[in-house]
Amino acid sequence: MRINLPNRLTLLRLAMVPAFMVFMVYDHFWTRVAALVIFIAASITDWYDGRVARKTGTVTVIGTFLDPLVDKMLIAAALVGFVEFRELHISSWMVVLIISREFLITGLRSLAATRGIVLAAEKAGKFKTTSQITAIVTILIIMIINSAMQKWPVLIQSLGSWHDNFLRALDWTPYWLVFWTAILTLISGYLYISNYRKLLWDELSDESPR
C-alpha cells in the first residue's frame, strides 16, 4: 500500500518532533540552531502538506487525524522545553493553559466525529496557531543569540551603550510572547466552544446508554 505525499510529509513531521526535543535538551549554540531549523522545516511541511492534499484531492481520514495531532505535539514539545530554561522566565502555568486548550478542542473534534460532524477550522484558531509558531521561532532565535553572546563575548562589547537595553529585552521578551500567546489561545478556545456549544449541550443532555 502506497502512502500519499501529504501523509508522508505528516509522518516526516512526526519524526522531527523527537529530533527537535533532542536538540532542545543539549544547551549549545549549534544544537539551538539545529532546533530552530527543524522547527521551521516542520512548520513548512505543515503548510505544504495541507495545500497538496486539498489541491490533489488526497485528503484522508488518517491525515485529518494525524496532521493537527502532530502540530500540537511539536508546539507542546517546544513550550514544555522552554520551561526548562531559566533564562527564558517562562512560567509553567502559561504552557499548561495552552496545552489544555489543545486537549479540549481535540476532544471536541473527536466528539463531533462520533456524530459524523467535521468541525471546520476557525479563523481565530488559525491566528492562534500563527501566533504560537511566531512566538516559538522568535524565542528560539533569542536562545541562539544568548548562546552566541556566551560563546563570543565580543558581541556584547560591540553593543556599546545599547548593551543594557538589549539584554533586558532578550531577558523578558520570551515571557511576554508566551503570555500573550496563552491569552490568544484561551480566546480562540472560548470562541470555538461557543460556536459549537449546541453540540456539547446535546451530548451532555443525551441520556442514551454508552
Distances (CA, A) of 178 to 9, 21, 139, 161, 184: 28, 19, 9, 28, 10
Give residue for cell 468541525: 119
Residues in the chain: 210
pLDDT confidence of residue 209: 46
Helices within 26-153 (DSSP H only)? 29-56, 61-83, 92-114, 123-151
C-alpha 19: how far from chain center: 15
Rounded to whole angstroms, the Cα distance separating 32 from 27 reads 7
Say if CB 70 and CB 14 are below 8 A apart.
yes
Question: What is the pLDDT tens value at each position of the chain, 210 positions in all?
Answer: 577 777 788 888 899 999 999 998 887 899 999 999 999 999 888 777 777 777 777 666 666 677 778 888 999 999 999 998 988 899 999 999 999 988 888 777 777 766 666 665 667 677 888 899 999 999 999 999 888 888 887 776 666 666 667 777 888 899 999 999 999 988 888 888 887 777 777 666 664 444
Handedness of CA 82, 85, 90, 95 (dihedral sign): positive
DSSP 8-state secondary structure symbol assigned to residue 208: S
pLDDT confidence of residue 146: 87
Full-model pTM: 0.84
Phi-psi category of residue 160: left, alpha or beta, with phi > 0 → left and psi -120 to 50 → alpha: left
Say if CB 120 and CB 127 are below 8 A apart.
no
For 50, phi then psi, to 5°, come to -65, -40
pLDDT confidence of residue 16: 92
Longest CA–CA span in the chain (Å) reads: 71
Sequence letter at residue 42: A
pLDDT confidence of residue 24: 86
Say if CB 101 and CB 190 are below 8 A apart.
no
DSSP 8-state secondary structure symbol assigned to residue 196: T
Q: Which domains, from first to last, does the chain contain?
A: 5-200 (1.20.120.1760)
pLDDT confidence of residue 163: 65
Instruction: Look up residue 6 and give its three cell numbers.
Output: 501529504
